[in-house]
Structures are given as structure tokens and as C-alpha cells.
């Protein structure tokens, strides 16, 4: 089984606004509401893969109940720590004319030490029988910056392989726990390493540096440019297949899901990387925060061409 951990879940409200203008009254054409938060997205993607998955983390209020109902309707067991307040709502504004996507994200509810202690208890319990645990997204207000480091250490001590997708101090401290995989984007790695990474050679250096800092696998997502990934023995890159983009929300989460799925199905590093690229490309062809099934992903696999950077 795979457990996903979401400390700061959200409801995504997506609005399609042709020729969106800042400071003006804009009228949307298409609106939709999705249960989200990066770990929730990973769980939804894994369910589409056919994997056995459960969702853990924090949840609050009526909006949190909406997320729990969405998980249940998708057949995903959930065991969240309930906290006071309300789960955040994030607004996504997609402009199909200008090909832009603007995000307005709320900070989230406030957690207390007792809530963190309760979550640590659940992590201890589930890690004993979950081969993989993913830790994704921002930390809610009240959570110390070393929260992921502590949770990953707890899960690893119980035998679980841990995958971390976060940024800022949460990534800087979390990587010290030596997770199986980290998946930052370019901006998050640039912040971590305190340097610009404009070229492919810079990204190759960054991926290798993440291994030095403690990651077993470094996966750097680059949006439309694809991704760079490094393991102890390989350093690779790939561009995504050419697809019609409807929503980029969740594309990186599909990549984490693919590597988690690869772990439980014993795929090689390169096979997991190809699956991640195809899964990410398939997800952006869908509206809102939706994820493709394995059949759709497998159709894109032949279009994923992996480049070996270790030789260049």
C-alpha cells in the first residue's frame, strides 16, 4: 500500500477566463471545483493507476468534508487528523487565449503541537505496513519548518520509503532525513541552492547536488520543458510528449505518483522516469485536477525519449 500525507489540503476552484486582465472585471466561461492539495492529488492519481492507496494528513471544516467525500467517492480510504478552522480554497484562473494560468492560494488553517503529535502517531501506525509514503505540499501555519524532516524520519524508522515534494525551508530541512525521492521544481531548487539554473548543465548539477544533500533520487520538474532526474547511477532528462494542455494543475503530483507506483511495482529508475513523464503529460490534457488512467498514460509512453546526461 501507498500512503499520501497532505498537511495543507485545499479545494481548487478553477475558472476559465479568456484574455484575463489584472485590475479589471473579468467574466469566466467555465468553472469547476476539485478536491486538491498536492498529497490529495497524488492519491487521486495513484487510484487511477490501480494502486492501493490511503490518504493521511490534516483536515478542517465543511470544505474539508467536501474533500473527504471526494476521496470516498473515488474509493480512497482516509484517516486525517481533524483541526479547528476551515480548509483553504485556492483559485486557478486559466486564460486559453494567452495560454497562462494564474493561481491565488490561501495560507490554510492553523495547527497546534497536539495536532502534530496526533499525526505522528498515525504516521508511525501506517508506515509499518505501507511500502511507500509521500509527503507533499506546503506546511500549514503553526507547523515548524522541520515538520517533514521529523515525519520522514518516523516513517523511515518503520520501514517505509519516503518521497518528498515541497519547497523552501520544508525542503531544505526535509532532505536531511534522506528521503527515497525529492521532487522540487526549478524555482524551489534555485532557492535551495541559492543560484540560478538556466541551462540543462546547471540542472544536471542541481540534481546531483540534491543527491549529495540526502535524496536517494532527485526529480526536478520543469513544466513544459520536462524534467531532469538523478539516481546514484544515472542522470537523465526528457521533454514531455506534445499534447493539448487544458490544465497544468497536478502535473507534478502525477510524477510523484508515478515514482511511487514504480516503487511498489519494482520498475527501474528509468522506467519510473518515463512513466512519470507520460503521466504528467496525460494529466495536463484533462480539466481541473483530474488524472489519467494507465491506459491513457501508456499510449504516451512511446513518445517519451530519455536523454542520458551523464555522458554529456
Mean pLDDT for the stretch of residues 13-28? 93
Domain segments of the chain: what residues?
Answer: 2-21+30-308
- Tell me: pLDDT of 59 over 90: yes
pLDDT per position as a tens digit, 185-200: 999 999 999 999 999 8
Confidence of residue 311 (pLDDT cuts 50, 70, 90): low
**Catalytic annotation, residues:** 253
- Tell me: pLDDT of 41 over 90: yes
pLDDT per position as a tens digit, 129-187: 999 999 999 999 999 999 999 999 999 999 999 999 999 999 999 999 999 999 999 99
Q: Select the more confidently predicted residue: 109 or 240.
A: 109
Q: C-alpha distances in angstroms, 54 versus 48, 127, 158, 190, 231?
A: 13, 11, 17, 32, 27
Whole-number pLDDT of residue 248: 82
Whole-number pLDDT of residue 289: 81
- Tell me: pLDDT of 31 over 90: no
**% residues pLDDT > 90 (the chain):** 90
Say what the pTM is. Answer: 0.95
Name the CATH topology of 2-21+30-308.
3.40.1190
Q: What is the mean pLDDT of the chain?
A: 96
Helix boundaries (H) for the chain: 38-49, 61-73, 113-127, 147-157, 168-174, 186-193, 200-213, 251-264, 269-283, 294-300
- Tell me: pLDDT of 288 over 80: no
Amino acid at each position: 500500500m501507498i500512503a499520501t500525507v497532505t498537511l495543507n489540503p485545499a479545494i481548487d476552484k478553477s475558472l476559465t477566463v479568456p484574455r484575463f486582465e489584472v485590475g479589471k472585471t473579468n467574466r469566466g466561461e467555465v468553472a469547476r471545483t476539485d478536491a486538491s492539495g498536492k498529497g490529495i492529488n497524488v492519491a487521486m492519481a495513484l487510484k487511477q493507476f490501480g494502486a492501493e492507496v490511503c490518504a493521511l494528513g490534516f483536515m478542517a471544516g465543511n470544505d474539508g468534508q467536501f474533500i473527504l467525500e471526494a476521496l470516498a467517492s473515488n474509493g480512497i480510504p482516509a484517516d486525517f487528523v481533524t483541526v479547528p478552522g476551515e480548509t483553504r480554497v485556492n483559485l486557478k484562473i486559466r486564460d486559453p487565449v494567452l495560454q497562462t494560468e494564474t493561481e491565488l492560494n490561501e495560507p490554510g488553517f492553523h495547527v497546534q503541537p497536539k495536532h502534530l503529535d496526533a499525526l505522528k502517531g498515525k504516521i508511525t501506525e501506517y508506515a509499518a505496513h505501507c511500502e511507500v509514503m509521500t509527503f507533499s505540499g506546503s506546511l500549514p501555519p503553526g507547523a515548524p519548518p522541520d515538520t517533514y524532516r521529523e515525519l520522514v524520519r518516523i516513517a523511515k524508522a518503520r520501514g517505509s520509503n519516503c518521497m518528498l515534494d515541497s519547497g523552501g525551508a520544508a525542503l531544505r530541512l526535509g532532505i536531511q532525513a534522506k528521503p527515497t525521492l525529492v521532487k522540487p521544481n526549478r524555482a524551489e531548487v534555485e532557492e535551495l541552492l541559492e543560484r540560478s539554473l538556466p541551462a540543462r548543465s546547471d540542472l544536471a548539477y542541481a540534481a546531483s547536488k540534491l543527491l549529495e544533500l540526502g535524496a536517494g533520487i532527485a526529480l526536478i520538474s520543469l513544466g513544459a520543458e520536462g524534467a531532469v532526474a538523478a539516481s546514484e547511477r544515472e542522470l537523465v532528462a526528457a521533454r514531455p510528449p506534445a499534447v493539448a494542455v487544458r490544465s497544468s494543475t497536478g502535473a507534478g503530483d502525477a510524477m510523484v505518483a508515478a515514482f511511487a507506483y514504480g516503487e511498489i511495482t519494482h520498475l527501474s529508475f528509468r522506467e519510473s522516469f518515463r512513466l512519470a513523464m507520460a503521466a504528467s503529460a496525460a494529466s495536463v490534457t484533462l480539466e481541473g485536477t483530474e488524472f489519467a488512467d494507465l491506459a491513457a498514460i501508456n499510449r504516451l509512453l512511446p513518445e517519451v525519449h530519455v536523454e542520458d546526461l551523464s555522458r554529456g
